[in-house]
Amino acid sequence: MIAIPAIDLREGACVQLVGGSYDAERVRVKDPLDALKKWRGFGFKAFHVVDLDAALGKGSNLDAITRLLGHEPGLTFTVGGGVRDTAKIEAVLASGASSVVVGTKAIEDTAWLAEVAGRFPGRVVVAADVKGREVVTRGWTAGSARDVADVLAALEPLPLGGLLVTAVHKEGQMEGVDLPLMQEVARASRHRVYASGGVTTLEDLRALADAAAHGAVIGMALYTGKLDAAAVAREFA
């Protein structure tokens, strides 16, 4: 399993939000490139970039994304946030992203998802943002009335690059992961599973690895120093 630092973009800065709430911003790094350089210095090679403003239709951080992806060759970036049409997928991949994360549109329009997954096999990652057991959309502000198991079943036949499963109810809390959820998803799906939400300790990471997660996205615990970045990188980078 690989550990993947999160670089969440808001108003051109790198931020960390508690529970995904825009009113609960806890960390802000003015230049996202500083965050990338910091985590790169510990040895991390894979990064998860999210345009929070685009996810909520409040703007774009494309300039910052372009700078991040062009900083150093050989790094792996998954990029998401507000990706809701084919042209945006093409643009993100053309900018140097290894894969593009699609959430709202993928959940709401399965025919479109099947089309783009077939067009870009192995490079479209579906974000299943889960609150309790319900998959939520539109920057976590809208419910889909769909249980995560039903969503997983619908995604199973597609040539995806993976599933990014975020336990929204754990996000930014630094109280541990929703291990039963991640175990269920890993058992139920043939796709690579990237776990997100609540990663706080090395034991959390080891438990996710034991659950057969392919990767774990880490945010708040790294940025606040709760999690020892050097120790994480030694074991999981």
Token reading at 228: 């020892």
Query: Quick check: is 34 catalytic?
Result: no
CA proximity to 126, closest of 93, 83, 88: 83
Query: Quick check: is 178 catalytic?
Result: no
Question: Cβ neighbours of residue 147 under 8 Å, at least 6 residues apart?
Answer: 133, 134, 135
Provide the 10 A C-beta neighbour count for residue 79: 28
Active-site option among 51, 53, 129, 178? 129
User: CA 145, CA 64: separation in Å to the nearest integer?
Assistant: 34
> Quick one: which H or E segment has residue 218?
strand 215-218
User: CA 158, CA 191: separation in Å to the nearest integer?
Assistant: 9
Helices 86-94 & 110-119, crossing angle to 10 degrees?
Answer: 30
CB 91 within 8 A of CB 63: no
Active-site option among 8, 51, 178, 204? 8
DSSP annotation of 30 reads S
Would you mind telling me the total number of residues written for the chain in this entry?
A: 237
User: CA 203, CA 56: separation in Å to the nearest integer?
Assistant: 33
Q: What are phi and psi of 13, to 5 degrees?
A: -105, 165
Q: Which residues are identified as catalytic?
A: 8, 129
